[in-house]
Amino acid sequence: MSETYRSAFRDGLFAGRVAMVTGGGSGIGRCTAHELARLGAMVVLVGRNPDKLQATAVEIAEDGGRASFHVCDIRHEEGVKAMVADAVRAHGRIDALINNAGGQYMTPLENISAKGWQAVIDTNLTGGFLVARECYLQSMAAHGGSVVNIVADFWGSMPGMGHSGAARAGMVSFTETAAMEWAKSGVRVNAVAPGYIASSGMDHYPAEAGPMLREMRQTVPLGRFGNEAETSAAIVFLLSPAASFISGTVLRVDGARPQVRMGWGQVAAPDEVQQRDAVKPFDGFHRYVTPKVFAGGHPSPLPHAGEGA
């Protein structure tokens, strides 16, 4: 394992920039925060768990980066307003927002209560809207910036998580609308849609979901799960100057999984395909931890992990 994040992007790319990452204490948010810090950004971690946020901030400092953290439940409007105000007061502005915080639970539609439905909508849609709106009003309207909303692979629906699918689809619509309305201020708004990513979020599902989770890679044409660094790389690209004419779009990171149709048989790529450079896992994150669901002798989610680009 290397001692620092091995990004595919050039050193100093975000020097002098301030990037806010919601859900920054774990999973994709933690990984993205590490990469942005490695590239020179001052990272503002946001989440509900102060211990996780502080742990990530300490990791970033140990690796030579800079990070602060703010405890906030993004579902509460007044709290979001105050959190963004604190961040702007501390750092002067917010140049980038990664709207990553989210969550859901597995259950069929007929068993979802109104309270459960609303909780997922509030977390995955309303909360993201509130943070983006406040970053725009309190900083980006005057200085410009870039927003990346993290959604999900909801193409073809999300059976078993219909509340999350509805929220993620709504966030894509919000992304397109915000890209149009905020362009006048020099603000770009895009989304990244992770597919099956071997992230710590998998550890929140019940134990009985383990066998299903371990088999999901068999439905991916590239024959494996993606990893956190591959998702972070997509986010960083959309924040970078290379994407300066990209706004209102969704970048899928899913190994072509939504293209799978009945009748195509086994879609998982054979081992020799997975070893080819174009589809090897990108092992950029030096602090990545394999989800517990794959521990204990279970098949690795990332076969034939390569050395990255």
For residue 196, is it within any domain? yes
> How many domains does the structure of the chain reveal?
1
Q: What is the predicted pLDDT for the residue at 280?
A: 80
For residue 308, is it within any domain? no
For residue 307, is it within any domain? no
Q: What is the predicted pLDDT for the residue at 143?
A: 96
- Binned at pLDDT 50, 70 and 90, residue 300 comes out as low
Query: Between 261 and 118, where is the model more confident?
Result: 118
pLDDT tens readout for residues 21-74: 999 999 999 999 999 999 999 999 999 999 999 999 999 999 999 999 999 999
Boundaries of domain holding 159: 18-294
Reduced 3-state DSSP string for the chain? CCCCCCCCCCCCCCCCCEEEEECCCCHHHHHHHHHHHHCCCEEEEEECCHHHHHHHHHHHHHCCCEEEEEECCCCCHHHHHHHHHHHHHHHCCCCEEEECCCCCCCCCHHHCCHHHHHHHHHHHHHHHHHHHHHHHHHHHHHHCEEEEEECCCCCCCCCCCHHHHHHHHHHHHHHHHHHHHCHHHCEEEEEEEECCECCHHHHHCCHHHHHHHHHHHHHCCCCCCECHHHHHHHHHHHHCHHHCCCCCCEEEECCCHHHCCCCCCCCCCCHHHHCCHHHCCCCCCCCCCCCHHHCCCCCCCCCCCCCCC
Q: What is the predicted pLDDT for the residue at 81?
A: 98
Q: What is the predicted pLDDT for the residue at 53?
A: 97
For residue 223, is it within any domain? yes
Query: Between 158 and 172, where is the model more confident?
Result: 172
Q: What is the predicted pLDDT for the residue at 266?
A: 63
Q: What is the predicted pLDDT for the residue at 263?
A: 61
For residue 270, is it within any domain? yes
Q: What is the predicted pLDDT for the residue at 202?
A: 72
For residue 128, is it within any domain? yes
Average pLDDT over residues 184-207: 86
Q: What is the predicted pLDDT for the residue at 241?
A: 97
Average pLDDT over residues 179-202: 92
- Binned at pLDDT 50, 70 and 90, residue 105 comes out as confident
For residue 302, is it within any domain? no
- Binned at pLDDT 50, 70 and 90, residue 306 comes out as very low
Average pLDDT over residues 104-129: 89
For residue 7, is it within any domain? no
pLDDT tens readout for residues 43-53: 999 999 999 99
Average pLDDT over residues 129-155: 95
Q: Do 11 and 36 contact (CB within 8 A), yes or no?
A: no
Q: What is the CATH number of the domain that holds 175?
A: 3.40.50.720
